[in-house]
Amino acid sequence: LPIISVIALVVVVIGAVVLHFTKFGLYTYAVGSSELAARRVGVKVDRHLIAVYTLSGALAGLAGILALSQFSTTAIAGQSQTNLNVIAAVVIGGTSLFGGVGTIFGTVVGLFIPAVLQNGFVITGVQPFWQQVAVGAVLITAVYVDQVRRTAATRGTTQSLWRKFVSGGRRG
């Protein structure tokens, strides 16, 4: 088992514990759901956001160090596709781009889909441009599904995605 995978697993477990069993995690979900509501219940939102962004920056730095240790080199545009893949993985894993919804487990599972897509494309010899197009299409589909889910939850309906496609969006 590569040491990078072990470090990533440790970070994921620590992150899950922090988000689910600490006040910091509760505040993070609260601020992500509604910044105004979190302010009204006494969360110091500005201070908390600074802490979240600081933690995010530290974890990005750790990821950079791990990537450097894996590849033993760096380039300015060396990881140009990483942003799209990470956003796709997070959305596929069930995290809403509109805030307040998401799990670490879902994100970890969502990470495997773009990774498997990329590896499959490399094995089959698909050009890198089309790899980006495919990951973008998966991202657009995941955002659409999330939006349909959020709209249905807002309306109080539980219309399935399949029914929405078949009926053309009509209720019934």
Q: What is the 3-state secondary structure (H, E, C) of 18-49?
A: HHHHCHHHHHHHHHHHCHHHHHHCCCCHHHHH
* Buried b or exposed e, range 98-125, using 16+ CB within 10 angstroms: eeebbebebbbebbebbeebbeebeeee
**HSE-up of residue 156 (Cα within 13 Å, Cβ side):** 0
Which of helix, strand or coil describes residue 97? coil
| Number of helices followed by number of strands (H, E) in the chain | 8, 0
Q: How far is CA 102 from the centre of its chain?
A: 8
Q: In the prediction, which pLDDT does 14 show?
A: 94
Q: In the prediction, which pLDDT does 87 show?
A: 79
pTM: 0.69
**In whole angstroms, what is the distance from residue 31 CA to residue 135 CA?**
29
What are the boundaries of each domain within the chain? 1-76, 80-172
State the SS3 of 119-132. HHHHHHCCCHHHHH
Tokens of 153: 């939850």
The length of the chain is 172
Specify burial of residue 95 (Cβ count, 10 A radius: 0-12, 13-18, 19+): buried
Q: In the prediction, which pLDDT does 160 show?
A: 57
pLDDT digits (tens), the chain, 172 positions: 789 889 989 999 999 999 889 999 999 988 988 889 999 999 999 999 999 999 999 998 998 888 888 877 777 766 666 777 777 788 888 787 776 677 788 888 888 887 888 888 889 988 888 887 887 887 788 778 877 877 777 777 655 555 555 445 544 4
**pLDDT per residue over 52-102, tens digit each?**
999 999 998 998 888 888 877 777 766 666 777 777 788 888 787 776 677
Q: In the prediction, which pLDDT does 45 show?
A: 94
